[in-house]
Amino acid sequence: MQVVAVLVHLATITAHAGPPQRQCSQHYDCPKHDAAWGREVVAACQRGCDGTSADNCDALAVIYALGSCGVSRDEKKAGTLVERGCAITEKGSENCTYAGDFFRAAKNGPGVVASSPDYVRARNAYEHGCQTADNASCMMLGRMLRDGIGGPVDGVRAVQLLSKACNERYPEQSEACLDAAKMYETGAAGIPKNLKEARAHRSYFKKIRSNIP
């Protein structure tokens, strides 16, 4: 009888629990469902973004950039959201790289992007990302400093950041090694030529690439 009573109690709890709460990670499924379902997903993303989830901010940015899950397309709001994600990112996460790519309108990147570039906001995002151990942000910031995009040229800091991003722990950013090598070879952005450093960076690039399966 006790077992029966427990089962009845559990059934009562389930009956009053209502439908399962939507998760922000379900935003890609919004086209398969109605507007009410989408609004629940948006609410879940908003709760996370208002808290400490940078990934939820980025997901919400995708929703507004595409105009999915029952909301109107709002690129300005999407931009604000990726900046929020960058501001609250955890150390080593790539939320700021995502924000920088959004504002740089980098259509070859993994996420949605702005319709036109805002290089100042992109550079600011990469700056914050590099300060929070986002290696990809360091590489992109180095390139923008080298080329004077979104702010003045700073060759010395550019090559420092590219050298920093040239790290075997981050093989996906191995091109930073070649960027630094080319700067040393040509004296780009006003830095002194240094063929020894150029050779070292090219050699390190080959080492990193040889370890990629």
More confident residue, 7 or 30: 30
- CA 13 – CA 179 distance, rounded (Å): 61
Q: In this structure, how many other beta carbons lie within 10 angstroms of the beta carbon of residue 170?
A: 16
Q: In the structure, what pLDDT confidence band is assigned to residue 212 with cuts at 50, 70 and 90?
A: confident
Q: Tell me how far CA of residue 78 lies from CA of 62, 111, 143, in angstroms.
A: 7, 12, 25
Average pLDDT estimate for 128-136: 96
Residue 6 token pair: 């427990």
**Does 118 score more than 60 pLDDT?**
yes
Question: Which residues fall within 8 angstroms of residue 69, CB to CB, at 6 or more apart?
Answer: 27, 30, 38, 39, 41, 42, 63
Question: Which residues fall within 8 angstroms of residue 87, CB to CB, at 6 or more apart?
Answer: 128
- CA 154 – CA 148 distance, rounded (Å): 7
Question: Which residues fall within 8 angstroms of residue 175, CB to CB, at 6 or more apart?
Answer: 139, 205
Q: How far is CA 146 from the centre of its chain?
A: 22
Q: Tell me how far CA of residue 127 lies from CA of 14, 25, 51, in angstroms.
A: 49, 28, 23
Average pLDDT estimate for 85-110: 90
Average pLDDT estimate for 97-101: 96
Per-residue pLDDT tens digits for 32-42: 999 899 999 99
Mean pLDDT across the chain, nearest whole number? 89
**Does 10 score more than 70 pLDDT?**
no
Question: Which residue has 């995502």 as its token pair?
Answer: 98
